[in-house]
Structure 1
Amino acid sequence: MKSELIVMLTYNDETVEDAVDVFNNIKDLPIKYFGFKDIGLPHKRMDTLNNIMKKAGKETFLEVVRYTEQEVLESADLAVNIGFDYLMGTLYYDSIWDLIDKKIKYLPFCGKVYDHPSILDGTMDEIIADAKDMEVKGVDGFDLFAYRYKYLDKVPELIKKLLSV
């Protein structure tokens, strides 16, 4: 598996105010993936930033930390309307597929995620089972909050187990 870097223009779980300037200063680096959160900028500025990134040849990610189905649907609608390549984060809901209609790639959280800042909870077996279930449902990947796992001493083991399935 080849690792790729996603540069997220965020700080304290929000898109930075000067995200356009930050992106313009680093857009020529050999990085393919850029993204930001669904909070921190008005939707019009998100649209502008996404367009600037795409014109620079980048693939774009909207990261969402929302938990209710209605909140997730609102953010998925935003991701589709602005034209992101990926929607990452959120809890998984089957209804997201109807909304995004495979126009963008979907990378939901795996495991039991709650609170703000987010906490990843559950046993390793539960997290792996959740990831397998989402894979069967057709997700393009998943967002693992390993650094926010409730059992930090188990993070290396969790990652190894997840990568081995």
Structure 2
Amino acid sequence: MTNQDRTVADAAERLQDVLAAGIRHVGFKDIGLPFDKLLGLASAIKAGGAALYLEVVSLDEESERRSAQAAVELGVDILMGGTRPHVVLPVIAGRNIQYYPFPGKIVGHPSKLEGTIDTIVESARHLTAINGVSGLDLLAYRFGGDVEALMTRVCEAVAKPVVVAGSIDSPERMAAVVRSGAAGFTIGTAAFNGAFSGSADLRLEIEAEINVLERIQADADGIAPSVLSRT
């Protein structure tokens, strides 16, 4: 429910299109709406039967702590983003919240991923060795180097799930994510921009994205698209 790394103002209304398209993993950022609106949005997502994700946008330690506390108050299932497990993990301890921090050096807003493939892979190994870190939130297409090599190296280096986030805005990029072995990916801005359908209708756009993904998976697995089912 985000556009340009901010939760969209009409997220509660647009959520109906998302759920109607069959999506059952829905998230938003901790900026863009006042907290009372985020509470309402969180409740609506859970009432719709979807897993609730929050991705934090925190450039300093204190704001990351506040974001972790917000995740607790919102009742999220998966907290994504941030770079400071030593700050976040004590806040979410005992709350049944999965935690997927960013590997590598994150700068600016919208966020960029800096470093080399080797340093990002080392960061990924370090983070996933920490008890309480459930997986990784990899800003692969916010990286200035060989993105597919980065995704593949990170996925191969760690035993925990890797979710690729940010700028998945074409079939080619979606296919690269699938090839890398990532557990999943997020789409926000591209959906609101109609990147896969050319349509301003969010439900039609998401259905187009699902169709593209099904074709990619069918090609990868050698399965006819007609036998695929959406889950």
Cα distance, 1:93 vs. partner? 3.0
Letter matched to residue 142 of structure 2: R
Matching residue's letter, 2:152: K
Answer yes or no: is 1:106 the counterpart of 2:99: yes
3-state SS of the aligned residue for 2:136? coil
Of 140, 150, 162, 1:158 maps to 150
Partner of 1:67 in structure 2?
A: 59
The residue that corresponds to 1:11 in the other structure is: 3
Alignment of 1:11-160 (within 5 A): 11-103=3-95, 104-138=97-131, 139-151=133-145, 154-160=146-152
* TM-aligned CA deviation for residue 102 of structure 1: 4.3
Structure 1 gaps of 5+ residues are: 1-8
Deviating beyond 4 angstroms after TM superposition, the runs of 4 or more aligned structure 1 residues are none
Q: Answer with 1 or 2: which has the greater Rg.
A: 2
Q: Distance in 1 between matches of 2:18 and 2:55?
A: 20
TM-score by length of 2: 0.64
Deviations 1:88-114 (CA, angstroms, capped at 9, x unpaired): 111123121111004211111101111
Residue type of the alignment partner of 1:155: V
Do the aligned partners of 1:64 and 1:89 also contact (CA within 8 Å) in 2?
yes
Secondary structure of 1:117's aligned partner: coil
- Report Cα offsets for 1:2-36 as digits up to 9, x if no partner: xxxxxxx1112111111011001231333220011
CA distance in 2, matches of 1:107, 1:67: 16
Question: In the alignment, is the contact (CA less than 8 A) between 2:7 and 2:32 conserved in 1?
Answer: yes
Post-superposition CA distance 1:97-136 (Å, at most 9, x none): 1110042111111011111222111111111111111111
CA RMSD of aligned residues (A): 1.2
| Structure 2 Cα separation of the partners of residues 102 and 114 of structure 1 | 30
Gaps of 5+ in 2: 158-231
CA contact (8 A) 1:69 1:93 kept: no
Tell me the secondary structure at the aligned position of residue 55 of structure 2: strand
- How far did residue 150 of structure 1 move? 2.5
Distance 1:102 1:158 in 2: 33
What is the identity percentage for the equivalent residue pairs of Structure 1 and Structure 2?
37
